[in-house]
Amino acid sequence: MKENKAYNSKKLDKNSVLPIYYQLAKIIEKKIVDGILKPGEKLSPEHELASRYNISRMTVRKALQELAKVNMIYTEKGKGTFVSKPRLENTVFELKDFHDEIKKMGMEPRTKLLGVEIIKADKNLAKKLNLEINTRLVYFRLLISAEGEPLLYENKYIVYSKKMPILESELKDPSLTNLATQHGNYFPTMSKRILNAAVANSKEAEILEIKKNSPVFVVEQYLYDNEKKPIGWGKSVCRGDRFKFTSYIGWTMDSILE
């Protein structure tokens, strides 16, 4: 095709505070966003970019790496580097610890411990945690509120392994990971979460002070140790009228180097 007339190359300022690889990445990004380089098209080979801009190939690679990190380009070994098709549908919704989520919303979360007890696993829990029936578990019931309004009702079960008082400080971080670390001998290394849409049942509605059958998010969390053995399970019911998940995705590189 040879549509690269090359001498339209913007210059790199080697004395700039901005790293050269960043400047180059920006130049290529602009060509893509402006449509000079179209999705599917092949970029010039690395060695050619290196000689064209009078920089080392490693620096070119660093620039391309940044663009690859945000999915604007991809490489195929032995073939070349290509412009990706924009896939603005591939978004991710972040869900951090709910305490953090609430802080992010600009409020101060408060945790109320509704109950803690040692229980024996029933059939259902035994199955979820892949344990024998009657294995002892620590069972937490928590209510998280902000500004006097209940937001979140949580039930968490941790495999019991050591006696530990409930510390006031724990309520500052009632995440499953933290509870398991405090109340179990296991070191959690893996976690699985499932997000469901549901409606509040009578009990949940009462606790959350919403109407029965109001929409809620239900987040289940499984926690595993480094041998993939389950060590905890939790279920959080969040008010649908107070939580939503937002995600942004951009066909730009703005995320890097903020």
List residues binding a second copy (CB under 8 A).
33, 35, 58, 86-98, 100, 175-177, 187-199, 213-217, 223, 226, 238, 240, 243-252
Q: Report what 45 binds from a second copy, DNA, none; CB cut-off 5-8 Å by kind.
A: DNA
Does 31 contact DNA by CB under 7 A? no
- Candidates 44-52, 129-137, 153-161, 222-230; binding stretch for DNA (CB under 7 A): 44-52
Does 40 contact DNA by CB under 7 A? no
Q: How many residues are listed for the chain in this entry?
A: 258
Residues 73-112 as x/- pattern, contact with DNA by CB under 7 A: --xxxxxxx-------------------------------
Does 61 contact DNA by CB under 7 A? yes
Calpha distance 65→119 (Å, rounded): 52
Calpha distance 247→254 (Å, rounded): 15
Closest CB to a second copy among 54 and 91? Answer: 91
Query: Which residues lie closer than 8 Å to 246 by C-beta, 6 or more apart?
Result: 93
State the nearest-atom distance from the C-beta of 155 to a second copy, in Å: 16
- Token digits of residue 120: 């024996």
Binders of DNA among 132-191, rule CB under 7 A?
Answer: none
Q: In which element (H, E) is residue 123 found? A: helix 123-128
Residues in contact with DNA by the rule CB under 7 A: 14, 19-22, 43, 45-48, 54-59, 61-62, 75-81
